[in-house]
Structure 1
Amino acid sequence: MQTALDRLNIWMTEVPVKFGGLSEQEISERPQPHKWSRKEILGHLCDSALNNLQRFVRAQYEEQPNTIIKYDQDQWVRLMNYQELPFEHILSFWVSLNKQIAAVWERTPENQLTNGFLLSEEQTVTLQWLIDDYVDHMEHHLNQIFGTK
Structure 2
Amino acid sequence: MKVVERLNHWIAEVPVKFNILPEPELSIRPQPHKWSKKEILGHLCDSAQNNLQRFIRAQYEEQPQTVIKYDQEQWVKLMGYQDLPFDQVLSLWVSLNKQVAAVIEKTQENHLQKGYPLSEGQIVTLGWLIDDYVDHLEHHLKQIFGDK
TM tier, smaller: over 0.9
User: TM-score scaled by structure 2?
Assistant: 0.96
Give the deviation of 1:143 after TM superposition.
Answer: 0.2
Output one character per residue of 1:26-74: Cα deviation in whole Å (capped at 9) or x when no partner.
1110000110000000000000000000000000011234311221000
5+ long unaligned stretches in structure 1: none
Q: 1:122/1:116 Cα in 2 relative to 1: closer, same or farther (>3 Å)?
A: same
Q: Secondary structure at the match of 1:100?
A: helix
For 1:147, the aligned partner's letter is G
Q: How many residues align?
A: 148
Where does structure 2 lack aligned partners over 5 or more consecutive residues? none
Question: Does the Cα contact within 8 Å between 2:27 and 2:36 map onto a contact in 1?
Answer: yes
2:12 partner amino acid: T
Matches within 5 A, 1:1-149: 3-148=2-147
- Does the residue aligned with 1:60 lie in a helix, a strand or coil? helix
RMSD across aligned C-alpha pairs, in angstroms?
Answer: 1.3
Check conservation: 1:49, 1:97, Cα contact below 8 A: yes
Counterpart CA distance in 1 for 2:121 and 2:47 is 23
Moved over 6 A (4+): none
The AA in structure 1 aligned to 2:66 is: T
User: 1:121, CA displacement in angstroms?
Assistant: 4.5
Mapped partners of 1:17, 1:93: distance in 2: 15
**Does the CA-based 8 Å contact 1:68-1:119 persist in structure 2?**
yes
- Determine if contact 2:68/2:118 at 8 Å carries over to the other structure: no
Q: Which has the higher mean CA deviation after the structures are superposed, 32-41 or 61-70?
A: 61-70
Q: With structure 1 as the length reference, what TM-score do the two structures score? A: 0.95
Query: What is the rounded CA distance, in whole Å, between the counterparts of 1:116 and 1:22 in structure 2?
Result: 41
Check the 8 A contact 1:66/1:116 in 2, yes or no. Answer: no
Q: What are the superposed Cα offsets for residues 78-113 of structure 1, whole Å, 9 maximum, x if unpaired?
A: 000000000000000000000001111111111000
- Partners of 1:122 and 1:109 lie apart in 2 by 25
* Amino acid of the structure 1 residue aligned with 2:29: R
Q: Percent identity?
A: 72
